[in-house]
Amino acid sequence: MSRSFERDIDTAWGRMRLVAFHDLPTRATHLALVAGKPRADAETLVRVHEPLSIIDLLDAGPGPHSWSVGEALSAIAKAGAGVIVMMNCHETPAALDARLVETRPLRQGRSVDLRTYGIGAQILRELGVGRMRLMAAPRKMPSMAGFGLEVTGYVESPER
């Protein structure tokens, strides 16, 4: 995993730092939007959004994720600091077709892709995150201690 690009951008939720990471084995590019300056010793509001679909960026209504991209960015802006990592999972045409009609929440018991957790964890550490409050439905997940990360809690999904 290597940081490949970085610049400040103006979003609908304020000025944020856009950071791109290149995943060497899969050649995927993952994006992070950072508000404020994450510190390892301070709790950071975090959303790891995967798999990211173009639909997630366009649809502001209820969708299959516990938090939409817009809801997460709004919460981060309101908090004054935080990180959203948008995982590029190479959306196939068939997957995009399925997302066009899917609006129900993702299954809570879906299988865990340990590699995705590891990539997200590497990105968060590279950005300076240590202690984090996740914008996600509570779930059993692998320990993040090996990456120097601590999950301090979860933020309830917004009312829709």
**End-to-end Cα spacing for the chain:** 36
> How distant is the alpha carbon of residue 56 from its chain centre?
12
Partners of 14 in beta bridges: 11
Partners of 22 in beta bridges: 2, 29
Check 3, 115, 125, 139 and give the catalytic one: 115
Check 15, 97, 113, 139 and give the catalytic one: 113
Residue 45: name the closest of 124, 131, 120, 132 by CA: 132
- 115 is a catalytic site residue: yes
DSSP H stretches of helix in the chain: 54-58, 69-79, 93-101, 114-126
The set of catalytic residues is 113, 115
